[in-house]
Chain A
């Protein structure tokens, strides 16, 4: 069974950093691009970015490129999202997704940016 489990969310103060993880199992993690998508409360889906199999290509949505960093550890079957300079606009559920056309999604992790 394919599983993607996000972790690392929570309440964080404005201007601080936070790192999310996405643990993958049930498929060959090394064979797939991985992506992050977020959803602000009551809003639609926003693509954050993606990373290819060997981390040689990483794409971001332009507005987040200077704040967020995507990485992966194929030995640990884990995807990461390092977020910095967080603001209230970053409050959202963060999903990791994998496989062609994002066939698999995690359950999401909530990040709340507030003082």
Chain B
């Protein structure tokens, strides 16, 4: 199975500032078709997960452009610009390259 490692475990951010979350995979997520199968989700408190980003950097429908993704191969970053209180929750990266799909352990974002 592909292991997904996220850091940090938690981050506290002042509203209006930025936050970055790292995700590392144990194997390159680049498929032979040229697509890298790395997605990001946000799970707000007591809610279902919500897709934020797919294929490293593509924003899901309706997602604020304050969210951006970058990276390649095995190292990926989610950046949240101008953090707002509604961004509070747990962020997960997940690989869709192969089954079983595997999630990172999550990064909790809190507001200072």
Count residues on chain A whose CB falls below 8 Å from chain B CBs. 21
Stretch at the interface among A8-16, A76-84, A103-111: A103-111
In the complex, the chain A residue whose C-beta lies closest to that of B101 is A47
Shortest beta-carbon distance, A72 to chain B, in Å? 17
* Pair B48/A44 contact, Cβ less than 8 Å: no
* Pair A47/B100 contact, Cβ less than 8 Å: yes
* Pair A103/B100 contact, Cβ less than 8 Å: no
Q: Mark B83-102, 1 if CB is under 8 A from A, else 0.
A: 00000001010101001111
- Using a CB-CB cutoff of 8 Å, which residues 9-63 of chain B contact chain A? 39, 41, 43, 48-51, 54, 60-61
B: contact size bracket: 20 to 34
* Pair A62/B54 contact, Cβ less than 8 Å: no
- Is B76 part of the contact surface with A, judged by Cβ < 8 Å? no
A100 to B58, CA, bound (A): 13
- Is B69 part of the contact surface with A, judged by Cβ < 8 Å? no
* Pair B49/A45 contact, Cβ less than 8 Å: yes
A17 to B30, CA, bound (A): 39
Given A95-B48, A101-B39, A103-B60: A46 and B99 within 8 A (CB)?
no
* Pair B51/A44 contact, Cβ less than 8 Å: no
* CB neighbours of A107 from chain B (8 A): 48
- Is A102 part of the contact surface with B, judged by Cβ < 8 Å? yes
Shortest beta-carbon distance, B35 to chain A, in Å? 11
Given A47-B100, A60-B100, A61-B100: A103 and B106 within 8 A (CB)?
no
- Is B7 part of the contact surface with A, judged by Cβ < 8 Å? no
- Is A114 part of the contact surface with B, judged by Cβ < 8 Å? no
* CB neighbours of A105 from chain B (8 A): 48-50
Cβ-neighbour of B105 out of A44, A62, A100 (below 8 A): A44
Extra pairs beyond A47-B103, A101-B39 (10, CB < 8 Å): A37-B49, A44-B105, A45-B43, A45-B92, A45-B106, A47-B100, A61-B99, A62-B100, A95-B49, A103-B60
What would 6 A/B residue contacts be, using CB atoms closer than 8 Å?
Answer: A37-B49, A44-B105, A47-B94, A47-B102, A101-B39, A105-B50
**Interface pairs A-B: 6 shortest CB-CB:** A61-B100, A105-B48, A47-B101, A101-B54, A59-B99, A45-B103
